Amino acid sequence: MLAPASNARLADRDGFRSGFALIVVLMGLLMIAAVTTIAMQTRQATIFRSAVEGDLIVANASGADIVRLALSMKMEDADIRVVELGNRQVELLDVGGLIDLNSAAPGLIDRLIERLGGGTAELAAYRTWRREGRRLVRVDDFIRVTGLVGVDIDLRKVATVHSGRTGISPEVAPSDVLDLIGMSENDLPEQWVSPASGHTFMVNIVSPSGTRRGLGIGTAAPAGLSVAVSVLSLRN
The closest of 177, 168, 157, 160 to 196, measured between CA atoms, is: 168
Question: Taking phi first (over 0 means left), then psi (-120 to 50 degrees means alpha), and beta for anything else, what does residue 216 get?
Answer: left
pLDDT at 48: 33
Asked if residues 87 and 51 have their Cβ atoms less than 8 Å apart, the reply is yes
Model's pTM, two decimal places?
A: 0.71
Q: What is the pLDDT of residues 145-195, one digit of tens each?
A: 999 998 988 999 999 999 999 999 999 999 999 999 999 989 999 999 999
Q: Bridge-partner residues for 89, per DSSP?
A: 84, 206
Cα(31)–Cα(37) distance, integer angstroms? 10
Element spanning 17, H or E: helix 4-60
Domain ranges of the chain: 1-60, 61-234
CA distances from 38 to 32, 43, 45, 47 (A): 10, 9, 10, 14
Secondary structure percentages of the chain, helix, strand, coil, to 5:
50, 20, 30
Q: What is the pLDDT of residues 111-145, one digit of tens each?
A: 999 999 999 999 999 999 988 888 999 999 999 99
